[in-house]
Amino acid sequence: MARIVECVPNFSEGRRKDVVNAVADAAREVQGVRILDVEMDASHNRAVLTFVGEPEPVQEAAFRVVAKAVELIDLNVHEGEHPRIGAADVVPFIPISEVTLEECVKLAHDLGRRINEELGVPIYFYAEAAMKEERRLLPKIRKGQFEALKEEMGVKAERDPDVGEAKIHPTAGATVVGARGPLIAYNVDLCTDDLDLAKSIAKRIRTSSGGFPAVQAAGFNLEERGMVQVSMNLLNFRETPIPRVFEAIREEAKAAGVPIERSEVVGLIPLDALLDSAEFYLQLHGFDRNQILERRLWE
Amino acid sequence: MARIVECVPNFSEGRRKDVVNAVADAAREVQGVRILDVEMDASHNRAVLTFVGEPEPVQEAAFRVVAKAVELIDLNVHEGEHPRIGAADVVPFIPISEVTLEECVKLAHDLGRRINEELGVPIYFYAEAAMKEERRLLPKIRKGQFEALKEEMGVKAERDPDVGEAKIHPTAGATVVGARGPLIAYNVDLCTDDLDLAKSIAKRIRTSSGGFPAVQAAGFNLEERGMVQVSMNLLNFRETPIPRVFEAIREEAKAAGVPIERSEVVGLIPLDALLDSAEFYLQLHGFDRNQILERRLWE
């Protein structure tokens, strides 16, 4: 199977379809890149593009979509609910298959330098590509948005970009580039209407309150079904595999006498996350993924 | 993902490499067919070819390899340890992806009729394609081999083929065509040197002694590792999924105070067998395999 990287750039345009199409087309032009999804949100006034392919063409496509966004989007006349600092706002690389997170960090760093050099947009690195610990998360970087950054860049040292002069691009602002693991939206439903139980389990497993690494979790009520849900984002399924959270939730719920009703994956999931789960539960030893019959056909 | 059928024809030639190559080449000629494996066994004097692709080209390739074997192999001068009645001895179709077993039965029936019509070889249908209950298994059909069949066909009514006159092909004998689920060679190792336990568990789970359907099982000693093994062929992983046998073995072993050391898959396994396992253990609900990110790339 090929080496596959995913790129999910976010753009500050969710209303003008021709602009979003032009940005997506810039990726389509690159051979070996496949667009999986183009999402526009008018109230956020934001678009999210998802494309995949081998590392090199994906990196090239990422540069081209950023260039097109810089050309067509003017943040001075942009308004929407979603916080943003750039025409091309956030550009994450995600390892999908036979590519490491470290390789994606390198893709991000190289892309950031090229964007700055060729387009004059200052660059921040976030997530695994962050060069400063406080820039791992987006909210700090985007504080006050384009409008505040315009005033503060070049004035406050903590606003200095990771690449380029401390000088905002007059229309395209600044761009955040990074690398992260694939995000899996994963929910576990409990056979109870006890919302406090879902909330306390979520608290116990999520990173922010001392649980597993790379896990965001919250408890929700599923009123129609008379159940509650532990709703999660698994940010790195290799660091915290699905069975680890599933079994932890099962144990916590069991201690309260509550069984699990079911679990669900929302949206896309990398194949490896499911294969890892099968291997874990079946205690599979010495399994080589080339033993999967269909893999011979994908090659 | 494409519709995929596997075909694993067995030929009565395991010594003359040029003959086996010529047979394999006959499948290679068909566009859309991919050869996964060519195995020759000199003492069995038998070759096993494995190829995959969409149903139509796989069926065409199956016809061509049978035709080539009929042309090149003369059973009157064939000897080997493995029982056989035909130059092309057994031709099973196996559903791999987005194809049903029923469709494979139809492929088998149509192929059988074509072989008889164009090559003059009488046909028996076996496994899921069997037209008579006593022909589901091969040993009955192959009883006494080519030599006995030559004498008895046209004489004893129970030897009448399912397609064609009761008249054996003078050099190519008869061919058995059929459809079956994909076979998974799956072993579970137990943390004990108690061979009797492995044997009694094997007996409890296998079809032939009243266990699960579509399961062959035996107990073995793994002397080097000081363990014992329940060794299985899972003949239909949709009818008896891997987790069902794994959990049954776990329970039986547990009752004897013995934990499972590990399990292993020998050779190829269809992706669905692993995905089914992940879904089972994670109690995944409403999961659509199009949610697997890589699938978008295989299309």
- For residue A290, the model assigns a pLDDT of 85
Of B97, B260, B293, the CB nearest to A283: B260
Residue type, B254: K
Q: Between helices B55-72 and B17-28, what is the axis angle to 10°?
A: 150
- For residue A58, the model assigns a pLDDT of 98
Nearest CA in chain B to A53: B297
* Cα A203 to Cα A210: distance, rounded to the nearest angstrom: 8
Q: Which residues pair with B176 in a beta bridge?
A: B90, B124
Q: What are phi and psi of A74, to 5 degrees?
A: -115, 110
* Cα B93 to Cα A130: distance, rounded to the nearest angstrom: 53
Q: What are phi and psi of A128, to 5 degrees?
A: -70, -20
**pLDDT per residue as tens digits for the range A181-232:** 888 999 999 999 999 999 999 999 999 999 999 999 999 999 888 999 999 9
Nearest CA in chain B to A50: B293
Q: Active-site residues of B: which are they?
A: 82
pLDDT above 70 covers a percentage of chain B that reads: 99
**A274: closest CA of chain B, how far (Å):** 6
Contact between B7 and B33 under an 8 Å Cβ cutoff? The reply is: no
- Rounded to whole angstroms, the maximal C-alpha distance in chain B is 60
Closest CA to A25 of A47, A1, A46: A47
Quickly state the pLDDT bin for A234 (edges 50, 70, 90): very high
Of A96, A263, A282, the CB nearest to B283: A263
B283/A292 touch (CB, cutoff 8 Å), yes or no: no
User: Residue A144 above 70 pLDDT?
Assistant: yes
B39 or A1, greater pLDDT: B39
Residue type, A138: L
DSSP H helical ranges for A29-144: 55-72, 101-119, 138-141
- For residue B149, the model assigns a pLDDT of 97
* Contacts of residue A268, Cβ cutoff 8 Å, sequence gap at least 6: A36, B291, B292, B293
A97/B246 touch (CB, cutoff 8 Å), yes or no: no
Which residues in B lie closer than 8 A to residue A287 (C-beta atoms)? 264-265
**pLDDT per residue as tens digits for the range A91-129:** 999 998 889 999 999 999 999 999 999 999 999 999 999
**pLDDT per residue as tens digits for the range B59-91:** 999 999 999 999 999 999 999 888 899 999 999
Of B36, B246, B294, the CB nearest to A97: B294
Residues of A with CB under 8 A from a CB of B: 1-2, 4, 6, 34, 36, 52, 96-97, 182, 242-243, 246, 260-265, 267-271, 274-275, 277-278, 281-287, 291-298
Which residues in A lie closer than 8 A to residue B284 (C-beta atoms)? 262-265
Q: Write down the mean pLDDT value for chain A.
A: 94
* Cα A173 to Cα A146: distance, rounded to the nearest angstrom: 6
- For residue A298, the model assigns a pLDDT of 62
User: Residue A2 above 80 pLDDT?
Assistant: no
B285/A262 touch (CB, cutoff 8 Å), yes or no: yes
Residues of B with CB under 8 A from a CB of A: 1-2, 4, 6, 34, 36, 52, 96-97, 182, 242-243, 246, 260-265, 267-271, 274-275, 277-278, 281-287, 291-298
ipTM greater than 0.90, yes or no?
no
Nearest CA in chain A to B53: A297
Closest CA to B49 of B82, B7, B112, B104: B7
Chain-centre distance for alpha carbon B52:
13
B293/A2 touch (CB, cutoff 8 Å), yes or no: no
Neighbours of B286 (CB within 10 A): 10
Query: Nearest 10 degrees: CA dihedral of A60, A66, A68, A74?
Result: -170
Best B225, B274, B289 member to test A by mutation, with max A CBs in 10 Å, is B274
A263/B285 touch (CB, cutoff 8 Å), yes or no: yes
SS3 annotation, chain B: CCCEEEECCEECCCCCHHHHHHHHHHHHCCCCCEEEEEEEECCCCEEEEEEEECHHHHHHHHHHHHHHHHHHCCHHHCCCCCCCCECEEEEEEEEEECCCHHHHHHHHHHHHHHHHHHHCCCEEEEECCCCCHHHCCHHHHCCCHHHHHHHHCCCCHHHCCCECCCCCECCCECEEEEECCCCEEEEEEECCCCHHHHHHHHHHHCHHHCCCCCEEEEEEEEHHHCEEEEEEEECCCCCCCHHHHHHHHHHHHHHCCCCEEEEEEECCECHHHHHHHHHHHCCECCCCHHHECCHHHHC
- For residue B181, the model assigns a pLDDT of 87
State the average pLDDT over residues A68-90.
95
What are the structure tokens assigned to A281, written together?
């539960």
pLDDT above 90 covers a percentage of chain A that reads: 84
The residue to which tokens 């029982």 are assigned: B83
**pLDDT per residue as tens digits for the range B10-39:** 999 999 999 999 999 999 999 999 998 898
CA distances from B248 to B196, B202, B251 (A): 17, 10, 5
Of B34, B269, B277, the CB nearest to A297: B34
B268/A291 touch (CB, cutoff 8 Å), yes or no: yes
User: Residue A11 above 70 pLDDT?
Assistant: yes
**B214: closest CA of chain A, how far (Å):** 19
- For residue B139, the model assigns a pLDDT of 86
User: Residue A30 above 90 pLDDT?
Assistant: yes
Quickly state the pLDDT bin for A299 (edges 50, 70, 90): low
- For residue B1, the model assigns a pLDDT of 55
Neighbours of A160 (CB within 10 A): 14
User: Residue B152 above 80 pLDDT?
Assistant: yes
- For residue A153, the model assigns a pLDDT of 97
* Cα A162 to Cα A177: distance, rounded to the nearest angstrom: 10
Of A4, A268, A284, the CB nearest to B263: A284
State the average pLDDT over residues B37-57.
92
Which residues in B lie closer than 8 A to residue A1 (C-beta atoms)? 294
Quickly state the pLDDT bin for A267 (edges 50, 70, 90): confident
* Cα A94 to Cα A181: distance, rounded to the nearest angstrom: 5
**pLDDT per residue as tens digits for the range B98-146:** 899 999 999 999 999 999 999 999 999 999 999 999 999 898 999 999 9
* Cα B53 to Cα B41: distance, rounded to the nearest angstrom: 25
State the average pLDDT over residues A288-292.
88
Of A4, A182, A287, the CB nearest to B297: A4
The two beta strands, A184-190 and B184-190, are unpaired
* Cα B235 to Cα B241: distance, rounded to the nearest angstrom: 10
- For residue A82, the model assigns a pLDDT of 85
**pLDDT per residue as tens digits for the range B156-202:** 999 999 999 999 999 999 999 999 988 899 999 999 999 999 999 99
- For residue A98, the model assigns a pLDDT of 86
Closest CA to A84 of A172, A156, A23, A163: A172
Chain-centre distance for alpha carbon B134:
18
Closest CA to A176 of A154, A149, A208: A149
